[in-house]
Structure 1
Amino acid sequence: MHPTRRTLLTATAALTASLALPGCSNSPASAPGSSGGQPKRGGHLRAAFAGGGAAETLDPHLSNLFADAARAKALYDKLADYGSDMTARPRLAERWEPNDALDRWTVTLREAEFHDGRPVSAADILYSYRRITDPKKAYRAKASLEPVDLEASRATGPRTVEFRLKRPTAEFPNVLAAFGAYIVPDGTDRFDKPVGSGPFRFVSFTPGRSARFTRNDAYWDGAPHLDALDIVVADEESARLNALLAGQVDYAHELSPSTARAHEHGGRVTIVRLRNSAMQGFVMKTDRPPFDDPRVRQAFFLIADREELVKGALSGAGTVGNDLFGKGYEYYADDIPQRRQDLDRARTLLKAAGAEGLRVTLDTSPVAPGFVEAAGIFRDQAARAGVTIDIRTGNKDSYWKDILDSGTLAGYRSGAMPIEAHISQRLLSGSTTNATHWRRKDFDALYQQMQSTKDTAGRSALYERMQRQLHTEGGFLVWGFADWIVGTSPRVRGVATDAPANTLDWARFDTVWLA
């Protein structure tokens, strides 16, 4: 998700207006830290996020920005959500069980209620999923629900759903945890006064300004510690930081590495680093020159000095990558040796491919932190191997669409998701966001074999085979994984420190309290 940016003046004015609400306590904290101590009930927390103006919504199926996602998490629940290692964890689903063929899954719901007292039922699940997959709508979770045959799926009891799938899907729990796959009451088509089953109840909402919620004492996972929660909008990082320093907000989302370094030890702000939150790299189009030759791709893998890229482009706020997605996640191939810069070997490969004196264009954009800086660093690294890179800076509003099929080499970034989802969405022959144009029938067959394999050990072996193939000849040059940085008031407790963005414990305010 890439938040819309506006001017600092507009952001600051909007934030100031948002904060002209009752219930804010600016009392100083007595002890720093984002966790620890005995939870304390009460208090009113304000959290600042970058926003999207009038486009902001409380319809959880339309969520696109981080602010939308944070509001959705406060109001609603999913059947499952992702842990820090991207494994699916039960939420509204108490359990799930497949048949032997892995093409039917029975999901049993826990006892939970919507904010109006109605029990969450199988009918609500089927309605929500069918709404998400409406062919006339562009709901974000639609692609994730593609394996499900919702016409054939049915309720087998008030709290039991039998999902029938179009094909065997061993990793079906990932579907239940998909971003945006929230459950709303059967028949819901308006969200001006939303009713969910989440930890907070709706009070008010002004798009581009603020949303207010109060504690749901009947929440199935335990009532939140906080009495109330405000999510306010401040597009510019400086506006969020200044509001945090001034005591106007208690939580500031999406801070830069330089901000973190400047304030980490000052005592006025607690910095929380969410590790392995964003993959950073370059994509090489494997279906066109010069990257249709695997030797050229291998040479580029060896040109990259990953430590220098992490230090320069991410200001050190991250870890090196190994040309594979999902470091720290379930099924990541840790035993593949770390690739390091080897310019002599890179030159040899380029010469063997007839690509000496190669000149290529690298597309980049200020669409995400570190993109432009990474392009410049990699250009200089490539020059030492005899490769000339011309940098072309694109429009940040259309960048992701532009690089999907055009060009040959481009800067790339991805947020957290299961490795299975990364493969299915970006690396299969029919994947709709296949930016590397990696299309291999043997690779597709391994993926299908993995989805048809019931035992975890068997699936792990197949995941490793796929990752070894990608590491050797794929089109993703993954040089690093960026930290996601959040700032809080020292009085805030309970903020998870091991929760990549878009996982269960990211932006989760029902477990937070004020000291």
Structure 2
Amino acid sequence: MNQLPRRQFLLTAGAAGLALTAAAGCGTGSTRAPAADAASPRQGGRLRAVFAGGGSNETLDPHLTNLFVDAARAKALFDKLADYGSDLAAVPRLAESWEPDAALRTWTVRLRRAAFHDGRPVTADDVLYSYRRIADPKRAFRARASLEPIDLAASRALDPATVEFRLKRPYAEFPNVLAAFGAYVVPDGTEDFTAPVGSGPFRFTSFTPGRSLLLTRNPDHWEGAPHLDELELLVAAEESARVNALLGGQADYAHELHPATARAHQGEGKIEIVRLRNSAMQGFVMKTDRPPFDDERVRRAFFLIADRQELVDGALSGAGEIGNDLFGKGCQYYPAGLPQRAQDLEQARALLRAAGAGNLRVTLDTSPVAAGFVEAAGIFKEQAAEAGVTVEVKVGSKDTYWKDVLDGGTFASYRSGAMPIESHLSQRLLSTSTTNATHWRRPDFDELYAQAQSTADPAARTALYERMQRRLHDGGGFLVWGFADWIVATAPRVHGVAQDAPANTLDWARFDRLWLA
């Protein structure tokens, strides 16, 4: 009987088993025909969108936002001061403008005229209450870390429409804080979210945790009323259930599809596929403070071992594009001019010999916690063998994986979703970063970051970010081999879906902009 070579088996297994569960990053692209959204917007109807859910413990507290369905619910009901554009640069929302002082330590934010669903105006007191609630150290709100640069005790309302934020240090990228995931503005004093009152484009009607949220259009939204009369956000844990709901007419929009599913239905006319390119970073992390990866020559050798296209084809079923060992491809501040790194096994072997690691053995920690992780680990194991490196793949628990690899092990599978490059640098690559999985701790690198945040001139600040990223590209601990596509699907009657909207950015899940033909 003929058998596939092991490498081909791994590629085939990756294609069959992939599920894109990563949060999205930067990127563009879609398979929807250009003419599909050409019709003029129409008023009315109920759109039903189905997401993976979180079960009976779900809440409508926007500060507890964690899953994609939470984020979709929160942005329908509430607003933030800012949000991220498709390049992960902050754009104004409830904030009409923001302006720093010369030292970049005091930022004045002016609010636009907006109202909550009960008619009360959105004021500076609402903003300060919301941010202080998020920052409460006794709570476990995800956005708390993002708000850390603000001295909320010293910040104040100058008038009902103006907030003066005092910061603990200079921060040129302060607008990123205003756009932080989960940093929604709620009415002053709000603690009960059983029937939430927000300022978003839809108003609350009813909610059954783990099943359905029904909303109605807000005719008084500051950005204009939605086209839809009603929006129903449904949950289904399994991708097959979401697709079947779409095919059977029980849903109009299905979030988070497998590439294999998209290919199966592409061009069939039953559903429309929206494929957002370059959305989720995929790679490996190397601990730079422990052998063998405390030697930069070993890290550089591993960069050269990776056949990135083979990893994309195998682990992502080809639904993505290759990376270049840096986060945020396509985002603001990304150094696109750096040469693309390619596999060079001869040079990799030479670097390993020079480092005294000619017969290197390493353990690669991975887990089915994210789509493509186990497949990518198997493919890289085969690639490393060609350079004389023995890789033992260790599959860990889905429940504890991220905690286990943050400080444990030396080499591990890694994934990241959407955030600005500046946030990636500050949260993962400074000596004080709490999620520094590569243990990259360099005081001079920290100083470059501090210098960038004290630099008001955008061009000079961009140059500093490029210096930092060139250093990471030369010998950092992130081996970024690819960026996965993000795939959603709609019924043919749904129009207005943004074609350039990575998850957790402004135009992702913008149900207020959709209409039904």
State the TM-score, normalized to the length of structure 1.
0.93
Counterpart of 1:402 (choices 404, 413, 424) is 404
CA contact (8 A) 1:70 1:507 kept: yes
Query: What residue is the counterpart of 1:10 in the other structure?
Result: none
Deviation string, structure 1 residues 28-86 (Cα, Å, up to 9, x no partner): xxx99763321111110000000110231100000111111110010000000000000
Give the partner amino acid of 2:342.
R
Deviations 1:128-179 (A, max 9, x none): 0000000100100000000000000000011000000000000000000000
2:367 maps to which residue? 365
What residue number does 2:183 align with? 181
Stretches of structure 1 that go unaligned for 5 or more consecutive residues are 1-30
> Residue 503 of structure 2 aligns with which residue?
501
Corresponding residue for residue 194 of structure 1: 196
SS of the residue corresponding to residue 437 of structure 1 reads coil
- Contact 1:274/1:501, CA 8 A, preserved across alignment: no
Alignment of 1:161-180 (within 5 A): 161-180=163-182
Query: What amino acid maps onto 1:317 in structure 2?
Result: A
CA contact (8 A) 1:209 1:232 kept: yes
Aligned residue pairs: how many? 485
The answer (yes or no) to whether the contact 1:429–1:438 under 8 Å persists in 2 is yes
Match of 2:16 in 1: none
Distance 1:428 1:146, change over 3 A: same
The residue that corresponds to 1:258 in the other structure is 260
Aligned counterparts of 2:57 and 2:427: Cα–Cα separation in 1: 26
Which one of the candidate residues 124, 131, 134 is aligned to 2:126? 124
Cα distance 1:440–1:473, how it changes in 2: closer, same or farther (>3 A)?
A: same
- Residue 276 of structure 1 and its aligned partner are, at CA, apart by 2.2
> Cα RMSD between the aligned structures?
0.9
- Indicate the residue corresponding to 2:479 in structure 1: 477
Residues in 2 aligned to 1:56 and 1:89: alpha-carbon distance in whole angstroms: 29
Matched, 1:378 2:373: no
SS for the counterpart of 2:451 is helix
Aligned to 2:71: 69
Alignment of 1:418-437 (within 5 A): 418-437=420-439
**1:243 has 2:248 as partner:** no
| Partner in structure 2 of residue 13 of structure 1 | none
Amino acid at match of 1:143: A
Structure 1: distance between partners of 2:37 and 2:322:
27
SS of 2:462's equivalent in the other structure is helix
User: Contact (CA 8 Å) 1:33, 1:492: kept in 2 or not?
Assistant: no
Q: Is the 8 A contact 1:35 1:496 kept in 2?
A: no
Tell me the amino acid that sits aligned with residue 214 of structure 1. T
Cα distance, 1:221 vs structure 2: 0.5
Give the secondary structure class of the aligned counterpart of 1:422: helix
Which runs of 4 or more aligned residues in structure 1 lie more than 3 Å from their structure 2 counterparts after TM superposition? 31-34
**1:275-317 C-alpha deviation (Å, 9 max, x unpaired):** 2221000000000000000000000000000111111111111
Cα deviation code 1:74-118 (max 9, x no counterpart): 000000000000000000000000000000000000000000000
- Partner Cα distance (2:466, 2:36) in 1: 36
- Helix, strand or coil at the partner of 1:265: coil
Provide the C-alpha distance between the structure 1 equivalents of 2:370 and 2:249, rounded to a whole number of angstroms: 28
CA deviation after TM superposition for structure 1 residue 274, in Å:
1.6
Native 8 Å contact 1:34 1:488 kept in 2: no
| Counterparts of 1:135 and 1:402, CA distance in 2 | 24
Q: What amino acid sits opposite 2:108 in the alignment?
A: T
Q: Distance in 1 between matches of 2:206 and 2:127?
A: 26
Q: 2:46 aligns with which of 21, 44, 47?
A: 44
Deviation at 1:182, TM superposition (A): 0.2
* TM-score calculated relative to the size of structure 2: 0.93
Distance 1:41 1:394 in 2: 50
Q: How far, CA to CA, are the matches of 2:177 and 2:247 in structure 1?
A: 40
Tell me the distance in 2 between the aligned counterparts of 1:438 and 1:36: 49
